[in-house]
Structure 1
Amino acid sequence: MAAGAPRIFVSHLSGIAVFDPSGDQVGRVRDLVAMLRVGRKPPRLLGLVVELTTRRLIFWPMTRVTGIESGQVITTGVLNVRRFEQRPTERLVLGELLDRRVRLVETGEEVTVLDVSVQQLPARREWEIDRVFVRKGKSGTFRRSRGETLTVEWSAVTGFSLEEQGQGAESLLATFEQLRPADLANVLHHLSAKRRAEIASALDDDRLADVLEELPEDDQIEILGKLKEERAADVLEAMDPDDAADLLSELPEEDKERLLALMEPDEAADVRRLMAYEEKTAGGLMTTEPIVLRPDATVADALARVRNPDLSPALAAQVYVCRPPDETPTGKYLGTVHFQRLLRDPPYTLVSALVDDDLQTLGPEAPLPVVAGFFATYDMVAAPVVDESGSLLGAVTVDDVLDHMLPEDWRETEFHLDEETGEETGEEAGEDAGEGVGTHGS
């Protein structure tokens, strides 16, 4: 960026694409790394936290950024894919500076930080945070229209270097509003435990439930433990029953029973039923909420259920036809109707005329290798789980099978193929590839 270029507010950088010198996209900006300085000197911007297509977060020095324009970052130099690790002297701009309560030096008035701007220094490849966009008034429910807003020089505010208790999260969440749950989970995982808890408390129950399902087990337990018990129960109810059962099974017996008692009886009953099965069996993997229809339902009825935006693509791929009752465990299981078949027949057709009754079913005690073999044999993305009496208990989806077949730390370790050799590369190989680049923060 040439000298004299306009300042850039960091909220506009979140999620924008990062390109290498060849014009290939390598990832997206997830945060910025700054170093606070003594006195009132503006912080130096060290680099970007970039999320690669493999979901690894890496550090990209600002000295290798040649331009930020038209919603994209242009870079130079060799890609260093060593995983980003925050140092004690560094601050994440989006994750830690936004939503802070600071004071105006001139009046001593407390204000909330909504955004900060960065600018490249003239004739140098160095960047710094130069201004702060703040809102006057008490902190609380986030409304940009409440309280006077103003932009001031960095030197005009104080309080960034202090540890803040009860820091808000509204501005940060607005910045990350469009992120998928898995991507937001990846961002949360790399924040401090304090900031993770603050953001979790600001998310609504459904959004937090979706994000928890994508987090590593340790983060799930940590966040759940910092919520009030009534809210923790509400979040567990919003989770898929199988994910809630997996999470509760990791808690001490006393905590588990206390949370189950706070949940709605129907929701708790589904979770208890799943916890009765071994973890790596069809019963332990299944969800108790597949699409179940009676034989006299029509194709139009089935498609209306499939359109439910809260369903995962795997669960929406097929419906299960059963005798009443039509909630699991159901009456007699009659067969499966695949989504493609629903698209080929008139809306008035009864689903009982379309069932695939030759498809094998899984018993609740079927071990993980048998379940995986089923998916590979029949090219399925979901499978019915039926008990000895012929009642549908639930459905296993391919994502849950993969989740339990991959290494336990798969959410934190990227596995991808080298485009030229086709060989798998991992953490160590990625680090070796970046040896020629300067160290983080240099």
Structure 2
Amino acid sequence: MAAGAPRIFVSHLSGVAVFDPNGDQVGRVRDLVAILRVGRRPPRLLGLVVEVAGRRLIFLPMTRVSGVESGQVITTGVVNLRRFEQRPTERLVLGELLDRRVTLVEKGEEVTVLDVAIQQLPARRDWEIDKVFVRRGKGGALRRKGETLTVEWSAVTGFSLEEHGQGAESLLATFEQLRPADLANVLHHLSPKRRGEVAAALDDDRLADVMEELPDDDQVEILGKLKDERAADVLEAMDPDDAADLLSELPEEDKERLLTLMQPDDAADVRRLLSYEERTAGGLMTTEPIVLRPDATVADALARVRQQDLSPALAAQVYVCRPPDETPTGKYLGTVHFQRLLRDPPFTLVSSIVDNDLPPLSPQTPLPAVTAFLAAYNMVAAPVVDDSGSLLGAVTVDDVLDHLLPEDWREAEFHAAEGGSHG
């Protein structure tokens, strides 16, 4: 749904068909999942509960929703068919928020919630519940019987979390605005029991982001406390290279069990990374760089670079390859750097402006040589290509730094941050 699109009342989504990008129906919307926040801040919409064949309920994250229009929902691609399980911090919008008695803040008057409206935030993929449609009175012969009105979320009370709550729910809401690295710092200093409670309550994408910032011991501990299916979901949400690093810390039996539970495409990427020596370009690389075909334009490239979930290092350049577009690709033709994209007209074909002067890295390139390559050519990322000329992935400077720093650098950083906060 495009930024600035009109808000949608959730009652209109009940039973709406969900389609994949090819136009095939996946299922129907049965509910929406939101997370409440401290105070009167609007709840964030996490995703949809979708009924698929066999009356099975699955979870569809809003990050996988590309359109909500004309009485239908369109997904961006593959849907995870694991059964939906509601987590402690989550609220079912249709099942738990509607028909509740809440209070209008201004007048202290009790009203009944008939509906709530969702809207996508401008220039982002996040969605919020921003309006509440309520009815005054209790259905009796009261003044202004049945009068309805639409108010801002902040104009009512009776939904949001209390500031002084001690559950993981309130703790998560308090730290919601923290960057993943900062929330990882918080988790690192919690007791193991408390850390497990908070990790269990985080949604998969948020937990994946935080796990990537934690020391290895914390990652292994948290993963071990999750049910196997949930652990597989979190591994799928992690960058493949980070998931491979984490799995390499586990006993072979545990690693294989989790790989078997992962979606086949995600597991294949991770298995490929695990097949390389750890301190080589193949072991360091991510398998999800920006890949474009030769007939793509500068406008296409810039649209891909603008994607919010990309790290700055991966967004710094695109890799031009013949089909297939997924790694391992067809023949690698060259790289186009972000600055070059800004200098050429939008209709320019990327194949006409590729930089193919620098030789790509092979997957066996050792870490010192990778470091020297990035330093010598002032690069923040470099392509990794096999003997047949296929692009396997890209090594980014942040992954190189992770392996150059001492193994306990994250713990040292956390302790330094803790000391600085009391200075």
TM-score by length of 2: 0.60
**2:331 corresponds to 1:318:** no
Matches of 2:228 and 2:292 in 1, distance apart?
35
Supply the distance in 2 between the matched residues of 1:144 and 1:352 (Cα, whole angstroms): 57
Q: State how far apart, in whole Å, the 2-side matches of 1:194 and 1:311 are.
A: 33
Q: Is 1:283 matched with 2:274?
A: no
Select the structure with the greater relative contact order (CA < 8 A; seq sep ≥ 6): 1
Partners of 1:405 and 1:205 lie apart in 2 by: 29
Partner of 2:250, secondary structure, is: coil
State the match for 1:379 in structure 2.
Answer: 378
- In structure 2, distance between residues paired with 1:387 and 1:149: 55
Equivalent residue number for residue 223 of structure 1: 222
- Match runs of 1:350-365 below 5 Å: 350-365=349-364
Offset of residue 267 of structure 1: 0.4
Deviation at 1:360, TM superposition (A): 2.2
After superposition, the C-alpha distances for 1:84-116 in whole angstroms (9 at most, x for unaligned) are: xxxxxxxxxxxxxxx9xxxxxxxxxxxxxxxxx
1:187 aligns with 2:200: no
1-structure distance, mates of 2:178, 2:246: 23
- Structure 1 residues 412, 346: closer, same or farther in 2, change over 3 A? same
C-alpha separation in 1, matches of 2:163 and 2:219: 38
Amino acid at match of 2:254: D
Q: Which amino acid aligns with 1:395?
A: A
The CA deviation at 1:413 is: 1.3
Report the CA distance shift for 1:246/1:149 in structure 2 as closer, same or farther (over 3 A): closer
Question: Which letter does structure 2 place at the counterpart of 1:360?
Answer: P
Query: Once superposed, which parts of structure 1, at least 4 consecutive aligned residues long, lie more than 3 Å away?
Result: 146-151
Task: Give the Å deviation of 1:174.
Answer: 1.0
Q: Return the letter of the residue paired with 2:398.
A: D
Query: Is the counterpart of residue 145 in structure 1 residue 158 in structure 2?
Result: yes
- Which structure 2 residue ranges, 5 or more long, are not aligned? 1-37, 40-88, 90-155
Q: What is the rounded CA distance, in whole Å, between the counterparts of 2:163 and 2:174 in structure 1?
A: 19
1:150 Cα deviation after fit: 11
More helix by proportion, 1 or 2? 2
Change in CA separation of 1:323 and 1:187 when aligned onto 2, cut-off 3 Å = same
Separation (CA, whole Å) in 2 of partners of 1:241 and 1:260 = 12
- 1:412, CA displacement in angstroms? 1.3
Question: After the TM superposition, which residues 333-344 of structure 1 pair with which residues of structure 2 at under 5 Å, given as runs?
Answer: 333-344=332-343
Same amino acid, percent of matched pairs:
81
Distance 2:261 2:390 in 1: 29
| 1:268 alignment counterpart | 267
Uncovered stretches (5+) of structure 1, i.e. residues with no partner: 1-10, 13-98, 100-142, 152-159, 161-166, 416-425, 438-442
**Larger radius of gyration, structure 1 or 2?**
1
Q: Could you tell me how far 1:194 is from its partner in structure 2?
A: 0.5
Deviations 1:374-432 (A, max 9, x none): 110011111000011111000000000000000000001149xxxxxxxxxx97xx89x
CA contact (8 A) 2:374 2:397 kept: yes
8 Å CA contact retained: 2:384, 2:392: yes
Q: How does 1:245-264 map to 2 (within 5 A)?
A: 245-264=244-263
- Structure 1 equivalent of residue 397 of structure 2: 398
- Which amino acid in 2 is paired with 1:321? V
The residue that corresponds to 2:297 in the other structure is 298
Partners of 1:245 and 1:355 in 2: CA distance: 31
In structure 2, do the counterparts of structure 1 residues 256 and 150 end up closer, same or farther at CA, with 3 Å as the change threshold? closer
Paired residues in the alignment total 268
Change (3 A) 1:194 1:328: same
Aligned to 1:308: 307
Deviation of residue 170 (structure 1)?
Answer: 1.3
**Could you say what secondary structure the match of 1:288 adopts?**
coil
1:367 is the counterpart of 2:366? yes
Separation of aligned partners in 2, 1:361 and 1:320: 11
Partner residue, 1:330:
329
Q: Distance in 1 between matches of 2:158 and 2:271?
A: 46
Relative to 1, partners in 2 of residues 1:150 and 1:322: Cα closer, same or farther, differing over 3 Å? closer
AA partner of residue 221 (structure 2): E
Cα separation, partners in 2 of 1:190 and 1:299, compared to 1, 3 Å: same
Distance 2:290 2:231 in 1: 27
Tell me if the contact between 2:277 and 2:283 (Cα under 8 Å) persists in the aligned partners: yes
**Are 2:161 and 2:170, in contact at CA under 8 Å, matched by a contact in 1?**
no
TM-score normalized by the length of structure 1: 0.58
* Distance in 1 (alpha carbons) for counterparts of 2:205 and 2:384: 27
How far the C-alpha of 1:144 sits from its partner, in A, is 7.0
How far the C-alpha of 1:146 sits from its partner, in A, is 4.5
> Tell me, what secondary structure is at the counterpart of 1:384?
strand
User: 1:173: which partner in 2?
Assistant: 172
Task: Specify whether residues 148 and 274 from structure 1 end up closer, same or farther in structure 2 by C-alpha distance, changes over 3 A only.
Answer: closer
Q: Matched residues in 2 for 1:363 and 1:347: separation?
A: 32
Counterparts of 1:147 and 1:326 in 2: how far apart (Å)?
Answer: 45
> What CA distance in whole angstroms lies between the structure 2 residues aligned with 1:234 and 1:260?
10
Secondary structure of the corresponding residue to residue 337 of structure 1: strand
Residues 189-237 of structure 1: CA distance to partner in whole angstroms, max 9, x if unpaired? 0010001000001110000000000000000000000001000000000
Quote the offset at 1:272 in angstroms: 0.2
Q: SS state of the match for residue 270, structure 1?
A: helix
- Structure 2 counterpart SS, 1:413: helix
